[in-house]
A = this chain, B = another copy of it.
Amino acid sequence: MRDALIAAAFRLFLERGYEHTTVDDIVALAGVGRRSFFRYFPSKEDVVFPDHERCLADMTAFLAASHDADEPVRRVCDAARLVLRMYAENPTFSVQRYRLTKQVPGLRAYELSVVWRYERALADYLRGRFAGRRDGILQADVVAAAVVAAHNNALRSWLRSDGEGDANTAVDHALGYVQAAFGHTAAPLVATQPDDVMVIVSRRDAPLWRVVQEIESTLGRD
């Protein structure tokens, strides 16, 4: 019945527009009563995004099942991929919804609040993993925002292309950018190296002896 309500709603949204479709119209087309609608969806907006609650629950469960050995930034990137998978399961529906959301300010606001909840789920996990760090909360919030922005950049490109092309590759590429910036250390490479790694940045045209001198001085050797 839930699927029938979603199908009826989208048929009407596309035919008449979202604003000109009422819950009564939807239940009439689906052949069910109003109470059935509200058993599944708190409001008309919720029928536009029927799978986000499940996806949020999946994401929370996925993050809760993490191990200490999981690299935290990689883990939140994998969590973000759950959202992509939800969209990619049904490209036609996802593209229709994307167009609808762009047209209706109320749906745009709804979507922003959903995105915010995903971002909080990622940030909460990272806050836990970064608890021992100075600036752990700041780093968690920034990395979560960067992951969401990268994911959504790739997702939107795919939706704009009408669901053509390979969404996974695009999202992998986008998340790779964030992992390269924050992965492993979740901080700039040079600023927070573990003790056993050294990073040397040098002009290419510097004489080799100057570079070696720099390395020796970094290592405290002489």
Chain A contributes a number of interface residues (CB within 8 A of B) equal to 50
Q: A150: which of B142, B150, B197 is its contact (CB, 8 Å)?
A: B142
State whether A138 touches B177 (Cβ < 8 A).
yes
State whether A149 touches B144 (Cβ < 8 A).
yes
Residues on B with beta carbons closer than 8 Å to the beta carbon of A35:
none
How far apart are A123's CB and chain B's nearest CB, in angstroms? 8
Q: How far is the CA of A213 from the CA of B210 in the complex (A)?
A: 15
Q: How far is the CA of A146 from the CA of B149 in the complex (A)?
A: 9
For A119-145 the 0/1 string (1 means CB < 8 A from B) is 000000000000000010111011011
Residues on B with beta carbons closer than 8 Å to the beta carbon of A199:
199-202
Residues in A lying within 8 Å of B, measured CB to CB = 108-109, 112-113, 116, 135, 137-139, 141-142, 144-146, 148-150, 152-154, 173-174, 177-178, 180-182, 187-191, 195-205, 208, 211-212, 215-216, 219, 221
* Top 4 A-B residue pairs of the complex, sorted by shortest distance between their CB atoms: A145-B149, A180-B188, A145-B145, A200-B200
Beyond contacts A112-B113, A181-B181, A198-B201: 6 other A-B pairs, Cβ-Cβ < 8 A, are A135-B177, A145-B145, A146-B149, A181-B182, A195-B204, A208-B215
